[in-house]
């Protein structure tokens, strides 16, 4: 069973595979990943896909790996390990980053990924009012958003930046005397709106960005936070928002570059 790079014409097969593992049919997210990442899959002889993985490569530095799925009928036959090994070799980056479920974690540990933190989903109605600290981003802000993003991630991410205005429903920024102090966005998911990315100088400004985005959103919001961000986690829980699934953040190879203290959540849990 060979591993092939898939085009967006295989979107329906990816959604069907996700559904077979009781994952949501996140079409908007998959469309983004086909634009910014490399989608690798193994065909099922009976049609559709037996397995898939997405690698989003940022220069020679980092590959973000996500959407690792193997159909239940092909489980525990080594496909997951093969897909991950292929994605890592194809990227050839100094580091790889991912967010692991309990099913994926042992597979990744054997491939030299190490746990560096925990991340939880918080899903619900935030019921907060706008802080008024941020303003909507405009096209003219994009170069400055790219500068801040590169500083915090430690490398430029032109493909991600190019997709932000169409992928996100809303993008907001906080001005400062020496350029932007933060930016954040929200995007439509299945059954909720995700707040992410959130990049800011400090937790107070991250909270202000989240409040301003939340005030624009009708219906449930999903926000993924690493549990080290105790202050923000306490704040979100104080709003009565429920904690959902918890996953393990893992890194392989070199420690991640950039200034990750200012990264409160990424664009998606597959792409960072």
Ligand X SMILES: CC(C)(COP(=O)(O)OP(=O)(O)OC[C@H]1O[C@@H](n2cnc3c(N)ncnc32)[C@H](O)[C@@H]1OP(=O)(O)O)[C@@H](O)C(=O)NCCC(=O)NCCS
Residues forming contacts to ligand X in the complex (CB under 6 A) are 21, 68-70, 75-81, 100-101, 103-104, 106-107
| Minimum distance from residue 76 beta carbon to ligand X (Å) | 4
Among the listed residues 123, 146, 151, the one whose alpha carbon sits nearest the alpha carbon of residue 225: 123
Taking the least distance from each CB to ligand X, the nearer of 107 and 150 is: 107
CB of 80 to ligand X, least distance (A): 3
Residue that is written with structure tokens 């202000």 in the block: 208
Residue placing its CB nearer to ligand X in the complex, 80 or 196: 80
- Residue 110 vs 261, nearer CB to ligand X: 110
User: How, if at all, do strands 38-43 and 3-6 pair?
Assistant: antiparallel
Give the residue from 105, 89, 128 showing the smallest Cα distance to 236: 128
Separation between Cα atoms, residue 83 and residue 97, nearest integer Å: 15
Min dist. Cβ of residue 85 to ligand X (A): 9
Closest CA to 208 of 198, 217, 223, 218: 198
Q: Which residue's CB is nearer to ligand X, number 47 or number 106?
A: 106
CB of 37 to ligand X, least distance (A): 15
Q: Quote the CA–CA distance of 169 and 189 in Å, as a whole number.
A: 11
């Amino acid at each position: 069973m060979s591993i092939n790079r898939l085009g967006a014409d295989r979107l329906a097969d990816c959604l069907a595979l996700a559904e077979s593992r009781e994952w949501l049919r996140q079409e908007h997210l998959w469309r983004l990943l086909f634009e910014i990442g490399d989608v690798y899959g193994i065909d099922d002889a009976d049609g559709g896909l037996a397995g898939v993985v997405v690698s989003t490569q940022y220069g020679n530095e980092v590959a973000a790996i996500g959407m690792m799925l193997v159909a239940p009928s092909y489980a525990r036959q080594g496909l997951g390990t093969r897909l991950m090994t292929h994605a890592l070799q194809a990227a050839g980056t100094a580091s790889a980053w991912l967010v692991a479920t309990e099913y994926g974690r042992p597979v990744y540990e054997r491939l030299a990924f190490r746990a560096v933190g925990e991340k939880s989903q918080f899903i619900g109605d935030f019921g907060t009012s706008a802080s008024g600290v941020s303003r909507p981003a405009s096209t003219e802000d994009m170069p400055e958003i790219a500068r801040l993003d590169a500083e915090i991630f430690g490398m430029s991410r032109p493909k991600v930046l190019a997709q932000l205005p169409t992928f996100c429903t809303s993008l907001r920024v906080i001005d400062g005397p020496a350029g932007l102090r933060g930016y954040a966005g929200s995007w439509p998911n299945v059954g909720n709106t995700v707040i992410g990315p959130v990049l800011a100088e400090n937790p107070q400004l991250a909270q202000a960005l989240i409040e301003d985005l939340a005030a624009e959103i009708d219906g449930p919001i999903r926000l993924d936070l690493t549990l080290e961000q105790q202050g923000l986690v306490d704040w979100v829980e104080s709003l009565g928002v429920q904690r959902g699934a918890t996953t393990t953040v893992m890194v392989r190879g070199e420690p991640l570059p950039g200034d990750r203290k200012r990264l409160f959540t990424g664009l998606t849990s597959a792409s960072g």
